[in-house]
Amino acid sequence: MTVFNIDEEDNLNRMRRGDLYYAFTPKLVAARKRCRQAVTRLNAAEDPTRREMAEFWRQITNDDRPLPPPAATEDEEDNVLHEYPWIEAPIRIDYGTNIKVGSNVFINFNCTILDTCQVTIGSRTLIGPNVSFFSGTHPLDPELRNGTNGPELGGTITVGEDCWIAGNVTILPGITIGAGSTVGAGSVVTKDVPPYHVVAGNPAKIIRKLERNPNGKQ
């Protein structure tokens, strides 16, 4: 059986579930091309307005909901468009349709999101430069892996609300980072992070627990 003789819809569902699937079928190649073209438009934009940024994100994620009506000022626009992330280009994204982002999220430059499976980023989370979300992976068996003819797989990534993912962090498939947590610069996250913890290192390890303070101090 070649990759072109499989049920494309079943293959897509297998990808989203994290099961073995084939990435180089016509449907998935076309989906990545669509996203790449949308990402290229964002990356090529020079000093986009907040509304333009939101429109680019809507195209990347293939969101057919219209944007809210324009506000009177640019500052008010930021409040109106809070559901759309603030993005510093360039970024790289695989599909775009498997990304869910909360409100008031900031994504710094050179972010890579391989959204083979769903990647969720909670509200008010800050993403540093050069952060990579790798929800896709490959079989370890080289015969099964088989280059572009072999199957791939993945796992969902969930980042809770109010997190800070510092620069040069890599997050691997199947990881959940709890609300309010911080991941130190240069970390590789290979295990789940509990809520309100600081982790750092390769692999990332718990540095300390954050005590919640109603006055905002830690």
Name the residues annotated as catalytic. Answer: 138
Q: Is residue 10 part of a domain?
A: yes
Position 211 pLDDT exceeds 70: yes
Per-chain mean pLDDT for the chain: 95
Q: For residue 179, what is the domain's CATH number?
A: 2.160.10.10
Over the Cα atoms of the chain, what is R_g? 18
Write the pLDDT tens digit of every residue in 138-162: 999 999 999 999 999 999 999 999 9
Q: Is the pTM of this model over 0.75?
A: yes
- What angle do the packed helices 26-44 and 8-17 form, to 10 degrees? 60
Is 134 within the bounds of a domain? Answer: yes
Q: With bands split at pLDDT 50, 70 and 90, how would you rate the model's confidence at 4?
A: low
Total domains in the fold of the chain: 1
CA distance 30 to 12: 12
pLDDT value at 217 more than 60 = no
**How would you class 54 by CB atoms within 10 Å of its CB: exposed for 0-12, middle for 13-18, buried for 19 or more?**
buried
Decide if 128 is inside a domain. yes
173-209, pLDDT tens digit by residue? 999 999 999 999 999 999 999 999 999 999 999 999 9
Residue 214, domain member (yes or no): no
- pLDDT average, residue stretch 122-134: 99
Which domain does 111 fall in, by range?
Answer: 3-209
Q: Do the domain assignments include residue 215?
A: no
Cβ neighbours, 10 Å, residue 99: 24
